[in-house]
């Protein structure tokens, strides 16, 4: 978790996700819709999709409104946020005591979150990214968190892996992010990230892995992993609603399918073994050795090279916890090479 920030000086944060290539299992779009509903966020701005989206790939949808009138829902990108009207309490003030409200860790309401669900454009990416940058500037956004989900050889029965990346060394230190060394094909998330960097607007890329052998959507377990990481990054409390039950049902359904398919069962077990072995190696091998070397370095500076047994034990205990969480850093924080994704 980053250093706690008082509510009155909390950064204004925009969380963005785009349906398409960077939304495996609908994990990011479902996370954003969950947050918008909790926040009771209102529509603030629309970036029309017709100039950016290929409508033959992202078909508009027709539905009937409450009066029975036909309406077309275009694949637009929409900005949502909390509107505080003069003379009236902010919606989050009214709802802060409810169990389904987003709050700070100290229980105070959150006013400074914006949400941007949209669709990956089929054309004109640079202008689309510039539109996002302009929105961030107009609404005084301090930090943009770009969400992405990728298909991966991740077992559904293990904790979902997340990774956070940032180009800025200061942001990496503040949020415990990594610097991505990925080179290759990218999606709109990376294009927006680079446009924000040019405009000197802070941004993080938060990616989550989705088991490639699960073809149904949504993927509530991956959505939960995104919300867990957002809580950690932003020092907020996000109610989960029905997501825990949905994630349990999702995992149980996959288990039932695998029980009737010997090949699938063997394949999932091989993924579980690989994950467990990788985690064990990180926990008991290189990660512990690196932490112990740091301890020796600090001790030699502070105590003339002496090593206290109780101090060493304390350092090893801390490093064990770090090793357990280190599985979240083994993936790039940017758009993966689609050729490496297993669907």
Write the CATH number for 198.
3.40.50.10900
**Token pair for 253:** 């359904």
How would you classify the pairing of strands 143-152 and 103-104?
unpaired
298 Cβ contact list (under 8 Å, min separation 6): none
Instruction: Please report the pLDDT score of residue 112 as a whole number.
Output: 92
Q: Does a structural domain hold residue 21?
A: yes
Task: Assess if residue 32 is contained within a domain.
Answer: yes
Q: Residue 171 pLDDT more than 60?
A: yes
- Quote the pLDDT of residue 287: 54
The average pLDDT across 130-146 equals 97
Q: Is residue 301 a part of any domain in this protein?
A: no
Q: Say what the pLDDT of residue 290 is.
A: 55
Could you report the per-residue pLDDT of 207-223, keeping only the tens digit for each?
999 999 987 789 999 99
Domain that holds residue 97: 13-287
Structure tokens at 96: 């802060």
Give residue 311's pLDDT band: very low, low, confident or very high (50, 70, 90). Answer: very low
For the cut 90, the answer to whether the pLDDT of residue 247 exceeds it is yes
Q: Measure the CA dihedral 91/93/98/101, to 10°.
A: 60
Evaluate whether residue 340 is within a structural domain: no
Q: How far apart, in Å, are the Cα atoms of 186 and each of 55, 60, 193?
A: 21, 25, 11
- Residue 5 included in any domain: no
Determine the pLDDT at residue 314. Answer: 36
Q: List C-alpha distances in Å: 19 to 26, 206, 207, 289, 316.
A: 7, 15, 14, 42, 43
User: Is residue 310, in this structure, part of any structural domain at all?
Assistant: no
**Is 106 part of a structural domain of the chain?**
yes
Does residue 335 belong to any structural domain of this protein? no
User: What's residue 306's pLDDT?
Assistant: 35
Total domains in the fold of the chain = 1
pLDDT (tens digit, 9 = 90+) per residue, 1-38? 454 444 457 899 999 999 999 999 999 999 999 999 99
DSSP assignment of 147-214 equals EEEEEES--TTSPPPEEEE-S-HHHHHHHT-B-----S---HHHHHHHHHHHTT-EEEEEEEEEETT-
Q: What is the pLDDT of residue 341?
A: 44
């Amino acid at each position: 978790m980053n250093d706690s920030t008082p509510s009155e000086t909390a950064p204004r944060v925009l969380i963005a996700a785009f349906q398409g290539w960077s939304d495996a299992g609908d994990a990011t779009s479902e996370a954003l819709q969950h947050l918008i509903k909790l926040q009771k966020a209102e529509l603030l701005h629309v970036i029309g999709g017709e100039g950016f989206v290929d409508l033959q790939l992202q078909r508009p949808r027709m539905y009937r409104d409450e009066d029975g009138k036909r309406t077309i829902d275009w694949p637009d990108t929409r900005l949502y946020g909390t509107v505080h009207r003069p003379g009236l309490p902010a919606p989050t003030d009214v709802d802060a005591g409810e169990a389904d409200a987003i709050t700070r860790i100290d229980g105070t309401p959150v006013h400074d979150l914006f949400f941007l669900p949209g669709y990956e454009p089929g054309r004109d990416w640079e202008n689309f990214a510039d539109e996002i940058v302009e929105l961030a500037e107009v609404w005084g956004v301090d930090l943009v968190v770009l969400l992405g989900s990728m298909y991966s050889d991740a077992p559904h029965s293990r904790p979902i892996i997340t990774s956070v990346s940032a180009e800025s060394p200061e942001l990496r230190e503040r949020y415990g992010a990594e610097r991505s060394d990925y080179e290759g094909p990218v999606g709109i998330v990376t294009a927006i990230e680079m446009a924000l960097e040019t405009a000197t607007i802070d941004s993080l890329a938060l990616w989550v892995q989705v088991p490639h052998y699960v073809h149904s959507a949504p993927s509530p377990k991956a959505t939960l992993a995104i919300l867990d990481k957002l809580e950690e990054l932003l020092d907020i409390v996000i109610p989960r609603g029905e997501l825990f039950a949905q994630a349990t049902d999702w995992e149980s359904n996959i288990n039932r399918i695998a029980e009737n398919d010997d090949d699938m069962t063997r394949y999932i077990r091989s993924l579980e073994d690989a994950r467990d072995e990788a985690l064990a190696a990180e926990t008991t091998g290189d990660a512990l050795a690196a932490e112990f070397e740091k301890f020796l370095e600090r001790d030699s500076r502070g105590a003339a090279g002496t090593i206290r047994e109780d101090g060493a034990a304390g350092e090893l205990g801390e490093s064990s916890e770090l090793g357990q969480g280190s599985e979240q850093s083994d993936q790039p924080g940017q758009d993966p090479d689609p050729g490496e994704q297993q669907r």
